[in-house]
């Protein structure tokens, strides 16, 4: 049989025809019709099944020791294209598929995969299956129809989301969504299990709505007006609608009774619908009070007390945090006792006054002794000194992430502040400092490190020092003061003159992860091969090390030295080796592969070869990959020779 689908005409074999028939008629077959097939045949069938079929069969297949991973990966590649890289376990791949498809189908977005499979996807069964998998729900400013459906025929789906969603993303301002959308948010945040909010819009009033009653006692003046503008009139009309619930719509009753998973009592939609229309057409704002909205949309199941619960926001992320939003947050922070994680990102550099206001609010929060805040992430700060102020204001933070970018035009005015009162010991366990400055105050960073004896993870990127200075001081501090360190990531830093200090770090610390990416390691080494051998010898003496990253270091032909990591009587226990973006050419990779074959890694090695010029000699490159395949999971995506100059510039 000829098939003229994508890619042109091709011959379709009998086996594939049978697989297509199984896909089309699986609902008419018993599960055993598939589960009783030989294992090799089931594995060949998986890429042909629909998403719902994969989800339905997965538990029984897993019980037989068969993973549905190939089926989910096939869908991922159709969604993301041929360059989609297999980095997922079965559950991770399934979650990513369901996350993407739920958003596309729920909001009615077009996508080639969705268009080809719309018959299987645009069904209540798919949305139900996807809702059981996803943990994050994004409220997107599109049409109101998706949210209206959750208050009517798809209300059982809302009940399911309420129980499964842990994180809510908001991409629209409070004056854009309909009251249906606000009601859905109320159900997820207050009645449901969601404790994380990601705000993707610059809208202070929306932020105030999220904060009010969900951990903070602060009430924004404008929000207060909106909350109470319609409450009195709305309550009396709701009472009337609730009292007359004996003549509900028969059509609605039938739909609801047919859904076994919808455990709620139908109520009179006609009066409720007219009430909503009246509210929308009234002059002024409709109420945004979640308590009133809940009694409006769901009077038959409102709590006996008439008061809904208030949720608790334990993780808050604001991705477009400008001054207006920061002022709202700063006003709420002193009473935001349940907040455990706070992430603030601005696409432009924060102003001094903004950060000082944040530091003041944080200080008030911690002085209350009721704060739960342990993770703080702020980007972008205008200079390093403000990081010290944030640490001073947050003495109990165990995880800190900051990005610092100096203002390039003109001098920055540093406000006069009291002398730092940093304690002699900080509880920091995780620290990330990313810098974009012409010159960095390394002394301050080392000072923080000396005060952080419990530090387990450190990521420092972009530190620039005056001409003639060295990063040796940073490495020496780590060896002396941070003996608990397990993960070290130094990025975009000049370390070519620091080999002795790097060797000392490896002998002093019990590192599990080491990444030295874009650090120009070989730049000043006179004998590059011999120096790299010294590094390899030191790496082999670190028995706890399982991840090594050496991306963007221009290893090129010297990559073959790394094969010695697994030679001798005490081979390295590495599980992941990243040598991407190192301008490794096919002949060099082939030599590396042949050396690795003579002394295999003791366990299967994940080898990252992305962004290396494999297309210079595709045949030799493919031969090298085949030699690596028996003992390596190779991560590689296509390379274009036109990218060579980009790679060269990125490593200069």
The Cα-based distances of 229 to 204, 283, 288, 373 in angstroms read 19, 11, 9, 34
More confident residue, 652 or 490: 490
Average pLDDT of span 79-93:
75
Average pLDDT of span 385-408:
90
User: Could you name the CATH architecture of 540-652?
Assistant: Alpha-Beta Horseshoe (3.80)
How many other C-beta atoms lie within 10 A of the C-beta of residue 247? 9
Helix (H, G, I), strand (E, B) or coil at 584: coil
Which has the closest alpha carbon to 512: 446, 573, 600?
Answer: 573
Q: What is the 3-state secondary structure (H, E, C) of 273-320?
A: HHHHHHHHHCCCCCCCCHHHHHHHHCHHHCCCCCCCCCCCCCEEEECC
Spatial distance between the Cα atoms of 395 and 147, rounded to a whole number of angstroms: 43
pLDDT of residue 78: 87
What does the buried/exposed string (b/e) look like for 622-646 if buried means 16 or more CB atoms within 10 Å of the residue's CB? Answer: ebbbebbeebbebbbeebeeeeeee
Domain ranges within the chain, ordered by starting residue: 440-511, 540-652
Spatial distance between the Cα atoms of 164 and 638, rounded to a whole number of angstroms: 38
More confident residue, 3 or 637: 637
The Cα-based distances of 97 to 54, 61, 73, 80 in angstroms read 11, 19, 9, 10
pLDDT of residue 84: 57
Spatial distance between the Cα atoms of 566 and 572, rounded to a whole number of angstroms: 5
More confident residue, 224 or 315: 315
Question: Minimum mean pLDDT among 285-294, 331-340, 471-480: which range?
Answer: 285-294
Please state the φ and ψ torsions of residue 269, each to the nearest 5 degrees.
Answer: -70, -30
Question: Minimum mean pLDDT among 120-129, 188-197, 292-301: which range?
Answer: 292-301
Question: Minimum mean pLDDT among 259-263, 512-516, 624-628: which range?
Answer: 259-263
pLDDT of residue 219: 87
Average pLDDT of span 340-360:
94
- State both tokens at 272: 């409720």
Q: Residue 74 in contact with residue 57, Cβ under 8 Å?
A: no
Q: Who contacts 620 (Cβ-Cβ below 8 Å, separation ≥6)?
A: 586, 587, 589, 590
Average pLDDT of span 149-176:
90
Residue 400, pLDDT above cutoff 80: yes
More confident residue, 250 or 644: 644
pLDDT of residue 106: 92
Residue 338, pLDDT above cutoff 60: yes
């Amino acid at each position: 049989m000829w098939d003229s689908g994508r890619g042109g005409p091709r011959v379709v074999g009998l086996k594939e025809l049978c697989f297509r028939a199984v896909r089309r008629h699986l609902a008419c077959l018993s599960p055993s019709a598939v589960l009783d097939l030989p294992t090799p045949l089931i594995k060949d069938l998986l890429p042909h099944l629909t998403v719902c079929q994969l989800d339905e069969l997965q538990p029984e297949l897993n019980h037989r020791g068969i993973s549905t991973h190939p089926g989910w990966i096939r869908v991922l590649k159709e969604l993301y294209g041929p360059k989609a890289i297999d980095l997922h376990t079965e559950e991770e791949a399934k979650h990513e598929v369901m996350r993407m498809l739920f958003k596309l189908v729920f909001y009615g977005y077009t996508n080639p995969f969705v268009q080809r499979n719309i018959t299987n996807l645009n069904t209540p069964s798919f949305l139900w299956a996807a809702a059981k998998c996803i943990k994050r729900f994004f409220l997107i400013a599109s049409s109101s129809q998706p949210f209206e459906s959750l208050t009517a025929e798809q209300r059982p789906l809302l009940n399911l989301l309420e129980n499964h969603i842990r994180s809510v993303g908001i991409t629209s301002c409070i004056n854009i969504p309909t009251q249906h959308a606000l009601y859905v948010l109320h159900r997820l945040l207050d009645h449901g299990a969601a404790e994380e909010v990601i705000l993707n819009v610059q809208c202070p009033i929306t932020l105030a709505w999220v904060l009010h009653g969900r951990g903070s006692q602060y009430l924004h003046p404008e929000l207060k007006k909106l909350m109470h503008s319609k409450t009195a009139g709305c309550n009396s009309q709701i009472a009337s609608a609730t009292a007359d619930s004996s003549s509900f719509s028969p059509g609605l009753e039938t739909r609801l009774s047919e859904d076994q998973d919808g455990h709620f009592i139908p109520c009179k939609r006609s009066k409720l619908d007219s009430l909503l229309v009246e509210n929308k057409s009234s002059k002024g704002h409709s109420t945004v009070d979640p308590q009133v909205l809940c009694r409006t949309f769901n009077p038959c199941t409102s709590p006996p007390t008439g008061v809904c619960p208030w949720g608790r926001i334990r993780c808050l992320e604001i991705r477009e945090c400008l001054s207006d939003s920061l002022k709202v947050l700063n006003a709420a922070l002193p009473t935001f006792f349940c907040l455990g994680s706070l992430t603030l990102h601005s696409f432009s550099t924060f102003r001094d006054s903004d950060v000082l206001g944040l530091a003041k609010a944080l200080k008030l929060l911690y002085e209350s002794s009721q704060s739960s805040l342990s993770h703080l992430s702020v980007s972008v700060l205008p200079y390093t000194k403000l990081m010290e102020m944030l640490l001073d204001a947050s003495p109990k933070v165990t995880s800190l992430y900051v990005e610092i970018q100096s203002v390039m035009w003109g001098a920055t005015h540093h406000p006069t502040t009291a002398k730092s009162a940093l304690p002699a010991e900080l509880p920091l366990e995780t620290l990330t400092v990313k810098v974009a400055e012409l010159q960095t105050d390394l002394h301050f960073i080392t000072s923080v490190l000396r005060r952080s004896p419990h530090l387990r993870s450190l990521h420092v990127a972009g530190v620039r020092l005056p001409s003639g200075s060295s990063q040796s001081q940073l490495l020496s501090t780590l060896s002396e003061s941070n003996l608990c360190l397990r993960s070290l990531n130094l990025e975009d830093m000049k370390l070519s003159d620091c080999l002795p200090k790097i060797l000392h770090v490896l002998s002093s610390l019990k590192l599990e992860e080491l990444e030295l990416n874009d650090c120009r390691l070989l730049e000043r080494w006179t004998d590059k091969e011999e120096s790299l051998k010294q590094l390899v010898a030191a790496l082999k003496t670190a028995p706890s090390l399982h991840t090594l990253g050496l991306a963007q270091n221009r290893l090129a032909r010297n990559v073959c030295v790394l094969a010695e990591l697994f030679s001798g009587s005490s081979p390295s226990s590495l599980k992941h080796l990243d040598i991407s973006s190192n301008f490794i050419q096919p002949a060099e990779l082939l030599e590396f592969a042949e050396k690795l074959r003579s002394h295999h890694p003791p366990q299967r090695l994940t080898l990252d070869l992305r962004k290396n010029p494999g297309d210079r000699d595709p045949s030799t490159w493919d031969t090298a990959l085949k030699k690596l395949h028996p003992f390596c999971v190779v991560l590689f995506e296509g390379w274009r020779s036109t990218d060579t100059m980009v790679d060269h510039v990125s490593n200069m």
